[in-house]
A = this chain, B = another copy of it.
Amino acid sequence: MLRVIAEDFIHPEAVPLVLPLYRELVAATRAEPLCIAYDLLIDDKDPGHFIFIEEWSDQAALDLHCATEHFTRLVPQINAHQSAPCRITLMSRMVDSA
């Protein structure tokens, strides 16, 4: 199990430009056979703060995702509108309730 939070910070005026790119990325990623969950949310307090909440089986599955045609084509187009670098948190351990 590998959970990922990937946070993008986009210039406010560029949000209408990145939304169709994000939608294509989400649809194509959810169609990947190794994708368990891939949601893209918007911070209620900042419309330029986009948060991916992801789940993959393991690091190898995430590496395959980052090498896909849709990822390598769309992510640079999105990142051209960044106001700050992406923040990535990888989590492979859960504090369970046992």
Contacts and interface: CB of A to CB of B under 8 A. Distances in A.
A41 interface: yes
A27 B49 CA distance: 31
A58 interface: no
Interface residues of A, number: 29
A3 B20 CA distance: 22
Contacts of A43: 89-91
Interface string A86-98: 0001111111111
Interface of A: 3, 5, 19, 22-23, 26-27, 30, 39-45, 49-51, 53, 89-98
Given A23-B96, A50-B95, 19 more contacts: A3-B39, A3-B41, A3-B53, A5-B5, A23-B98, A27-B97, A40-B94, A41-B93, A41-B94, A41-B95, A42-B95, A43-B89, A43-B90, A43-B91, A44-B92, A44-B93, A49-B89, A51-B89, A51-B91
